[in-house]
Amino acid sequence: MYRGLAGMFILDDEDTAASGLPSEYGVDDIPVIVQDKQFTEDGQLTLQNDGNEIGLLGSTVMVNGTIGAHHKVTTEKVRLRLLNGSTARIYNFGFEDGRPFQLVATDGGLLRSPLEQRNIQLSPGERAEIVVAVEPGTTAMLRSSEPDLGAVAAPFAFGANDSFDVLELRAAGELAPSSAVSPTLSDFGTDEFDASVTRSFELEGRKINGRTMDMGRIDETVTLGATEVWEVRNKNLFPHNFHIHDVQFQILSIDGEAPPAHLAGRKDTVYLSPQKTYRLIMTFEDYADPQLPYMFHCHLLLHEDEGMMGQFVVVEPGQSAGAIPTNDGGAHHAPSAHPLPGVRDIRHDA
């Protein structure tokens, strides 16, 4: 990913037109994949992280693989689909002149209604969509200013003092009109009353609940259709975040408090301030398979690479986790699980 294998799936539906959102790809609907890089004196990319606990913090920011990126704006408003595609760095995006923008979506989809913001902080893997207005013949600089990392020890070591220019918007002398963004964008919501299971996840060092990743071990078994609450806590004094595959969640609370509005939408990745408990709610609606697991993990890539990850399967009611296919011709068995009659054998030849 650091070397460039980072991209987006952009999903739209039939409601896009009614939303009033700019939606012409490459014109007023722009992917903005932000990655920091470190170059040696002779211009070679390096992943040397000098022992930083969270990984490499590069001094050069690239957008869509470009240093010093700009976009020529030809419309009154532009929609930026921001992705933090960095290995470790946390960005706090906003405009240099402090202009407000509309936050319209987070990781997993549109918000219920647009939210006026002046900045939006994203940890690795998080996404946000913003709509910003520009005046004809002017420029607007999207920057990342000092992120709020919470109660980390030595925040400067984790990028809390860093700021960068990210993307310059250069508006043409005449701009095509843009629609007003609809005040209602989507509808969703899960009631905590519907949750049947609560699980706890403690992140510490490179472990989740005291264990590092084992591809032969299923850590959690979820029943299809269940609504669950996952309580996630960063026990360290340095940053982690938490990403769940398969589902979108909503944040019920952060240390007992309702989440701020910009964290109240559908998400699959959340920054974990040290020593705080994040209660997440989600429903496992589809794609059950007792053998093929999904992952949950810290999305700081160094941590993930060093094993800060676990696996869960989603099973039909009454099923238990099956054997996981492996590359050595065998099959691992989850503890207390046994292959089910009729479970297909998908062992790979070595």
Positions that interact with Cu ion (CB under 5 A): 240, 298, 300, 303
CA distance 193 to 230: 14
What are the structure tokens assigned to 293, written together?
A: 């697991």
Greatest CA separation found in the chain?
69
Length of the chain as a residue count: 350
Residue number, 87 or 92, with CB nearest to Cu ion: 87
Comparing CB distances to Cu ion, the nearer of 272 and 321 is: 272
- Minimum CB separation from Cu ion for residue 220, in Å? 19
CA gap 66, 126 in Å, rounded: 20
Which is closer to Cu ion, CB of 55 or CB of 58?
Answer: 55
H helices within the chain, ranges in order? 16-19, 301-305
Of the pair 81, 240, the CB lying nearest Cu ion is at 240
> Is 19 or 234 the residue whose CB approaches Cu ion more closely?
234
Question: Residue 94 CB: number of other CB atoms within 10 A?
Answer: 22
Q: Which amino acid is at 79?
A: R
Please, what is the minimum distance in Å from the beta carbon of residue 287 to Cu ion?
Answer: 26
Q: Give the whole-angstrom CA distance, residue 1 versus residue 12.
A: 25
Nearer CB in complex with Cu ion: 131/244: 244
Tokens standing for residue 27: 């014109």
Nearest distance, CB of residue 52 and Cu ion, angstroms: 12
Residue with tokens 């913090």: 57
DSSP β-bridge partners for residue 103:
115, 130
Taking the complex as a whole, the smallest distance from the CB of residue 57 to Cu ion amounts, in Å, to: 14
Find the shortest distance in angstroms from Cβ 219 to Cu ion.
16
CB of 232 to Cu ion, least distance (A): 11
